[in-house]
Amino acid sequence: MDLPPSLEARRITALPPAAYYIADFITEYEEQAILHKVETAPKARWRQLTHRRLQTWPSDVVNDTLLDARPLPDWLEDPVVSRIFSIPLSEGGANIFATSPHQRPNHVLINEYPPNTGIMPHKDGGAYHPVVCTVSLGSSLCLNLYKSKEDGALEPEPVWRILQEPRSLLITTADLYSEYLHGIEPTSTDVDISEKTIANWTLLRSPSLYHNGINVRQTRISLTYRDVLKVSKLGSKIGPMFKRP
C-alpha cells in the first residue's frame, strides 16, 4: 500500500475543517476478503430497513449506548483500524483517534446500497465522538453535504458532493460532523460529475472514469467506523440471549 505520510496530505481543501480522502486505502484483495465476510455473516446479523440493510459490530447502539463492549472481529480490525492508526494527522504527530474517549473506533456500521437506494440527509448526533471513518467497497457513489437553515430546515440542494470510490477511506470531523447534514441520493446514476462539482476531485484514483459526467452505480457496501462515547457497563456480562451471533 502506498499510504500518505499524513492525513493532512490528503485533506479535501474545498471543504470546511475537516475531511480527508485516501483513494487507495485497501487493496482489491482486501476489499474482496471483507466483502466475503460481510456476505457470509450469519443471517441474524442483518437488519432489513425499507430500502437498505445493515449490520452493526460488535452490537447495536441503543439510547446512545453501545450495548456490547466486545472488541471488533479481526476482519474489521485488520487492515482498516491498524492502517488508520498508522497514519498521523500531521507528519510526526498522533493518529486521528488519539484524542477520542477510547482512543479507537469501537463500533462499525455496515450499510448496503444497491442501485436506487440512499440515505436521507441527517446528522450523526451525540452518541459518537465527531470522527467518522468510512471505507467504501464495491461501487462508487456521491455523498452529499447539506447546510441546515437557521430554522432547522434543509436547503434542498447539497452544498458539496464527495465522490467515494471503492477501496477508499473518507474521514469527516469537526464542523463537517456537527454543522452539516450528509445523505446519499436514491438513484441508479450519479450525474453532473466533474472537477467543478466534486469536492475531492483532485484526490480521486480514477477521475477519467467520469469523463462523461456520470457514475452508474452498482451495489456499494460501506463500513462506518466510529467511537461510541458511552459503552454499557453490562458490557461482556450481557446474556447470550440478547447478543447477536
Ligand X SMILES: O=C(O)CCC(=O)C(=O)O
- The span from the CA of 56 to the CA of 36, in Å, is 16
Binding mask 164-193 for ligand X (x = CB under 6 A): ------------------x-----------
200 makes contact, choosing from ligand X, Fe ion, none, with CB < 5 to 8 Å by partner type, with: none
From the number of C-beta atoms within 10 Å of its C-beta (0-12, 13-18, 19+), residue 136 rates as: buried
Q: State the nearest-atom distance from the C-beta of 183 to ligand X, in Å.
A: 8
Q: Is 37 helix (H, G, I), strand (E, B) or coil?
A: helix
The reply to whether omega before 79 is within 30° of 0 (cis) is yes
Which one-letter DSSP state was computed for residue 5?
A: S
| Single residue of 34, 80, 109, 203 touching ligand X by CB under 6 A | 109
Strands across the sheet with 131-137, in order?
19-22, 169-173, 131-137, 220-226, 107-113, 53-57, 47-48
Q: Give the footprint of Fe ion on this chain (CB under 5 A).
A: 124
Note whether 124 binds ligand X by CB under 6 A. Answer: yes
Note whether 224 binds ligand X by CB under 6 A. Answer: yes
Q: State the nearest-atom distance from the C-beta of 91 to ligand X, in Å.
A: 28
Q: State the nearest-atom distance from the C-beta of 217 to ligand X, in Å.
A: 13
Binding positions for ligand X, rule: CB under 6 A: 109, 111, 119, 124, 134, 143, 182, 222, 224
